[in-house]
Amino acid sequence: MTNFAPINLLYFDLSRCEPTGILSDRLIMLRDDISFAHGYLPVQDSEPARRRVVVDNYPLEIRNNTKKSYPNCIEGSSGQLLTKGEYYSTIAYRKYSVPQKSTTSSYVVRSNVGTFIYLDWHVSVSERIELPSELSGKPYIIVEKSDSVTVLSKENTGNILFEVITKGYVILRF
């Protein structure tokens, strides 16, 4: 098979993002029984509501000519990103993981602002996901989720039960 390179640059503009206004903030690459993800934690200037203000054109770029992908944390259609005296803050991550049970991708990102668990499914399933032992009993919030995912557990007992219709994702913060 020959390399297929139809274009040099692929922009995921605002029209290609979630209709609810959620911008692309991560990429997941899958290979057999391992996944690789990179993106920004949904905090500081990458917090979903804030990103809607600081990213007004292309939340995600994939460049064939450099073989790199960029989930943009900050950019402007004017081409002027920052002016003198301005700044922004975000936390980027890269993570390899082995999916749990029926998940397509599942990984934990630990940071100084909390621990985040990302779960993605491409099947309909009721599934209990075991948490890392240090998170057992800790309170959590749902940062973001698709409409097709319901968190059924009322408390964190070391595992959390999810109901997934067709496909979906959830991001939890501890």
Rounded average pLDDT over 119-147:
95
Both tokens of residue 79?
């081409």
Question: What ranges do the domains of the chain cover?
Answer: 1-96, 99-174
Band the pLDDT of 1: cuts 50, 70, 90: very low
**Which CATH entry fits the domain spanning 99-174: 2.60.40.1180, 3.40.50.12780, 3.20.20.370, 3.40.50.2020?**
2.60.40.1180
Nearest to 168 by CA among 142, 150, 143, 141: 150
* pLDDT for residue 142 is more than 90: yes
What is the number of H-type helices and E-type strands within the chain? 1, 13
In this prediction, residue 120 carries a pLDDT of: 95
In this prediction, residue 108 carries a pLDDT of: 96
What pLDDT, in 10s, does the model give residues 36-83?
998 888 888 778 777 777 776 777 777 777 777 777 777 655 455 667
Whole-prediction pTM value?
Answer: 0.82
In this prediction, residue 135 carries a pLDDT of: 97
Both tokens of residue 15?
């029209």
